[in-house]
Amino acid sequence: MKVYHFATLQFCLCLLFFSFSSYASEKSTTEVVLTGVKKEIRQLRKEINRLEKELSKIKSVEQKLADEEELLKKKAWAEAGKRKKRRNKTKIRNREQKLLSKLTAKRSELSDVRTNIKDKQTEINKINNRIAYLSGETMVVYNKSGNSTRTAPIPETKPSSLKKEARNWLGTRYRYGGTSKSGVDCSGLSGQIYRQVYNITLPRTSADQYRQAKKVSKSGLKPGDLVFFKINSGRVSHVGIYLGNDEFIHASTKRGVVISSLNETYYKRYFAGGGRY
């Protein structure tokens, strides 16, 4: 009887030991993951600081160029006024043409700088999205006017939430330029679902969504990724949202909002790639 009790005690102790070992291992793994996440957030914030310093410098250049553009414009108007009043107009016209050429060059330079500003702001927004996803904090987003605004964090969304929202759109008729359940086009659908499920504002057109997304191969697709197609003139002109198992939801011009398979011959032929935000 004593031997039996001793054996039972040994068995219980072994179970307790293995349970503790498993807990310790799980805790250790969690700590490693959290450490990795914190390190990534620190690196991303350093990148944000660097980009915002660059952005500040570019905006200073933009202001300087805008001031120079205004000055050239006033001088050109002044020369045009002189030409109307004076008889000898050749010299004045030449000076005016030179000023107008300078003004055109300055406007081109200013346009390049503004494009650069837009690209930096997009890059900052993407990094802020990643930080918000990792830490659950609010993030700073640059809007179209270049001003920064604070938005709510992106929730970590389960595939079921995506599928639930996707089902709500099934059967909606196609309408070019539409963004509501009374009628929606392909990029309008992806934009609305992303806003509802991920709290992310996508660019309005499928081409812009493709251009700004992180490219993903077909084999690397995950639920929530965008899938793009080059149907017209060899450029991206259609977008859908990947749901898993090679299925995606999209707004078809003929059938409205439906779920299709990437393995269908038509979509295989025109598939351009995946994108992730």
| 8-state DSSP, 173 | P
The number of angstroms, rounded, from the C-alpha of 157 to the middle of its chain's C-alpha atoms is: 17
Among 134, 110, 114, which residue's Cα sits nearest to residue 122? 114
Distance CA 22, CA 28 (A): 10
Cβ proximity of 174 and 184 under 8 Å? yes
- Give helix 2-85 / helix 90-135 axis angle, nearest 10°: 170
Tokens of 276: 């992730």
Residue 238 designated active-site: yes
- Cβ-in-10-Å burial (0-12, 13-18, 19+) of 74 comes to exposed
Distance CA 133, CA 155 (A): 7
Residue 250 designated active-site: yes
Strands 139-142 vs 247-252: parallel, antiparallel or unpaired: unpaired
Catalytic residues: 186, 238, 250
